[in-house]
Amino acid sequence: MADIMKFNERGSKTVIENGTVFSPKFDHDGLIPAIATDAVSGEVLMVAYMNDEALSLTLQTGEAHYWSRSRGKIWKKGETSGHTQVVTQILTDCDQDAIWLKVNMSGQGACHVGYKSCFYRSVELSEPGASEPRLVFSETRKVFQPKDVYD
């Protein structure tokens, strides 16, 4: 079941950008970035990476699978937390080197820290022209406590 994308060799730039042949471009580590957004709110939930097998599994099962770079293994989102992601649409971009998943989460949070989205902090300069950026929490409420899920 894996390696289904390898059937398709990448053609010319014109074919890649304007055609209907799916030929994802994996980087030199064999990975492609995948953005998951909430299918209802549109909020960006997380950015992760897929290898060929994770992308195949996602297509075949309809549930998001990623490649864990820290653990060096396929990772079905929610396999530990129960917060799985059911994919409603998968898109790719012009040069087919990124994946966008629209998902419905079965649990409350996409982020292992406990927030709904991994993007719970904004980057701000303390004043215009300042050179020291800082982080400001844009989400302050955790939707679950990590110790309840992972311990």
Q: Enumerate binding residues for its own copies (CB under 8 A).
A: 1, 4-5, 7, 17-22, 33, 35, 37, 41-44, 46-47, 59-60, 89-94, 97-100, 111-113, 115, 118-125, 129, 131-138
95 Rama class: left (phi>0) / alpha (psi -120 to 50) / beta: alpha
What the block records as the tokens of 105 is 């989460």
What the block records as the tokens of 52 is 């060929």
Kindly tell me which of 41 and 79 has the beta carbon lying closer to its own copies: 41
Give least dist CB 47 to its own copies, A: 4
3-state secondary structure of 53: helix
Kindly tell me which of 89 and 104 has the beta carbon lying closer to its own copies: 89
Kindly tell me which of 79 and 89 has the beta carbon lying closer to its own copies: 89
What number of other Cβ atoms are within 10 A of residue 89's Cβ? Answer: 10
